[in-house]
Amino acid sequence: MNKRTFLKLSSAVMASRFVSPLFAWMPTEKLTNWSGNLEYSSQQLTQGTSLEQVQDFVGKHEKFKVLGTRHCFNNIADSKDELLSLRQMDQVVSVDVKAKTVTVESGSSYGKLAPYLDSKGFALHNLASLPHISIAGACSTATHGSGEKNGNLSSAVAALEFINAAGDVVKLSRDKDGETFHGAVVGLGALGVITKVTLDIQPTYAMKQWVYENLSLAQFKEHFDAIEASAYSISLFTDWQNQQFSEVWIKSRTEPGHEFSAPKDFYGSKPATKNLHPIVELSAENCTEQLGVPGPWYERLPHFRMGFTPSAGKELQSEFFVPRQNAVDAILAVERLRDQITPHLMISEIRTIAADHLWMSPAYKQPCVAIHFTWKQDWPNVSKLLPVIEKELAPYKARPHWGKLFTISPATLKQIYTKMPDFIELAKKYDPKGKFRNDFLNRNIFG
């Protein structure tokens, strides 16, 4: 099936107005992840409503997993036993103006928190391509946006509250708990049930977004550093054909000193004359405003608007992080696989992420470039292609995204995530008997 036919069918299935599937879920329907490629192994879903009730749940269950907004593509959130959702625990607890932090219940999504913060005169440093995801789920998997000076979303976590396997409330903070805190933030759901997250905030800011079309691979190779440095956040989209990036998304803060000059020619690419979707065949209705129109940070940092279906809907995703110094070579290596990749692809995206100190983050102590693939929902073919891409990227020390699809072996993961032995010890401290473990964690971390 060609891409145009596939996308037509997919978008017919996913009407563009978006109803949160968790709340649309009825006990008669099978509980799946957001894209529908994974049916959870347990259909026993309990809603957490208070700290005490969640503690009681932890005490009464031998094994379970917490679900966020279910946007992961692999089985990291799956359980054969029980599932717990904290979506009803989504209130802002406090804003500490002096410490410049907000504390929020972990079931909140960025889409819910962001307008509240903005109304109080504050902002977050960055957002992912979609605001729909839960804060706890996103931070647990090192979810990221773009911008060479911007760490991933978990790098904004200043403190965490979670319930460990014994049912005790554990509080960790960046200021007081040093390395333990660095180990716990990207916790892959293995340490406990996160109930509150404290995030760094800053004064609110406005942004503008532009899209440029058709940046050549030759210009990209020649000017990679300058392109990435040209604005607060840069995303490059390609289907790997024709030696070009079909779209360059440029997100710029409007404060003096930050502004992007929006030239008529950006390294040979030209400004789009209407709003575009990253997959050019799809309507831009679900995308954030472009064409340099100013707006609040939370309506420009994500590519997709809250209240609408993000991305394409019926899809799969994979993503690999390479150390920044390997980026151009790694991207050229993927480009050489274009004729194998493109038939199964909707779109690829290239983003930059600043280094952080979080043990299980792909950007642990190294600035990264992320090479992302939105695939057609065709696992038999994608599963054959992933090892080919992973082999090509292996010399560049590529690390996979924890929430997306990969086939890299557990032995290789142990080599490339150098803090994994410490992370295993930390997880055992809070969960000695494996209450929070599932097949994903047993295979990739504890195996």
Ligand X SMILES: Cc1cc2nc3c(=O)[nH]c(=O)nc-3n(C[C@H](O)[C@H](O)[C@H](O)COP(=O)(O)OP(=O)(O)OC[C@H]3O[C@@H](n4cnc5c(N)ncnc54)[C@H](O)[C@@H]3O)c2cc1C
Angle made by CA atoms 317, 104, 417, in degrees to the nearest 5: 40
Tell which positions 11-40 bind ligand X, by CB under 6 A: 34-35
Q: Element (H or E) spanning 236, and its range?
A: strand 233-238
d(Cα 409, Cα 148) in Å, to the nearest integer?
29
> Is the CB of 101 or the CB of 141 nearer to ligand X?
141
Q: Of the candidates 256, 250, 243, 285, which has an alpha carbon nearest to the alpha carbon of residue 271?
A: 250
Q: With CB under 6 A as the contact rule, which of the stretches 12-20, 68-76, 220-228, 425-433 interacts with ligand X?
A: 68-76
Here the tokens at position 300 are: 């420009």
If the CB atoms of residues 271 and 362 are measured against ligand X, the closer one turns out to be: 362
Judged by CB under 6 A, which stretch of 2-10, 62-70, 221-229, 254-262 contacts ligand X? 62-70
Question: What gap in Å lies between CA 1 and CA 220, rounded to an integer?
Answer: 31
Closest residue by Cα to residue 369 from 355, 353, 389? 353
- Member of 7, 31, 38, 65 binding ligand X (CB under 6 A): 65
Q: Is 310 among the residues that bind ligand X (CB under 6 A)?
A: yes
Angle (CA) 134-38-320 rounded to 5° is: 65
Question: Tokens 């050019």 label which residue?
Answer: 280
- Is residue 69 involved in binding ligand X (CB under 6 A)? yes
Does residue 427 sit in helix, strand or coil? helix
Q: Could you say whether residue 209 binds ligand X (CB under 6 A)?
A: no
Binding residue for ligand X, selected from 67, 306, 322, 341, defined by CB under 6 A:
67
Give the pairing type, strands 295-296 and 206-216.
antiparallel
Q: Please tell me whether residue 363 binds ligand X under the rule CB under 6 A.
A: no
Question: How many positions of this chain bind ligand X (CB under 6 A)?
Answer: 35
**Binding status of residue 70 toward ligand X by CB under 6 A:** yes
* Contacting ligand X within 134-173 (CB under 6 A): 134, 136-138, 140-141, 143-144
Q: Does 72 bind ligand X (CB under 6 A)?
A: yes
CB of 402 to ligand X, least distance (A): 7
| Binding flags for ligand X, 382-421, as an x/- string (CB under 6 A) | -------------------x-x------------------
Strand-pair category, 233-238 with 345-353? antiparallel
Closest approach, Cβ 169 to ligand X, in A, equals 13
∠ Cα 327 328 331 (to 5°) = 85
Tell the burial category of 379 from Cβ atoms under 10 Å away from its Cβ (0-12, 13-18, 19+).
middle
Contacting positions for ligand X (CB under 6 A): 34-35, 65-72, 76-77, 86, 106, 128-130, 133-134, 136-138, 140-141, 143-144, 188-189, 193-194, 310-311, 317, 401, 403
